[in-house]
Amino acid sequence: MDEQLTIPGVDVHGGRRITAVTSEAGDGGAAQLPGTPSVDELGVRTDLVTACRVALGVGSTTAYALAGRGELPFPVYRVGRQWVVPTAGLRAFLGLVPSGPIAS
C-alpha cells in the first residue's frame, strides 16, 4: 500500500512528492534510501539529518529548514547547537512498533 507523504510549503526533490511505502504484511516497514540506516539500527536517538533521510527522504538543507520552522512531523529537540531526534518518536511517526523489551 502506497501512502503519499507531503509537508505543506516544502518543494522536495524538484517538485516530486515523497512516497512512503508500507509493507502489505502490516509491519509498518518503510521504503529505505540507499546508504541510509534502518530505524532499528539508530539506537535511542539520532541526528536530525539521519532522521529526515530515514523518515522523509530529504537532505540536510530541507531537514534544517523544517526543524527551524517547527514543521517536522516527529519530535526534535535543540541541544546546544545540535538537533536531537528520539527514535521512539520517529518510530511512532513511521507507524512502527516499539523495539526492544518493554519494562513491566
From 20, 85, 16, select the one nearest 48 (Cα to Cα): 85
C-alpha cell at 14: 524538484
β strands within 1-104, DSSP E: 2-5, 18-21, 45-47, 77-79, 82-86
Asked if 91 contacts 75 with a C-beta cutoff of 8 angstroms, the reply is: no
Residue 102 covered by a domain: no
Q: What is the pTM of this model?
A: 0.62
Banded pLDDT at 23 (limits 50, 70, 90): very low
pLDDT single digits (tens) 33-77: 556 677 777 888 999 999 999 899 999 999 999 999 999 999 999
Residue 87 covered by a domain: yes
Domain total of the chain: 1
How many helices (H) and strands (E) would you count in the chain? 3, 5
What distance in Å separates the CA atoms of residue 50 and residue 21, rounded to the nearest whole number? 18
Residue range(s) defining the domain that contains residue 80: 2-94
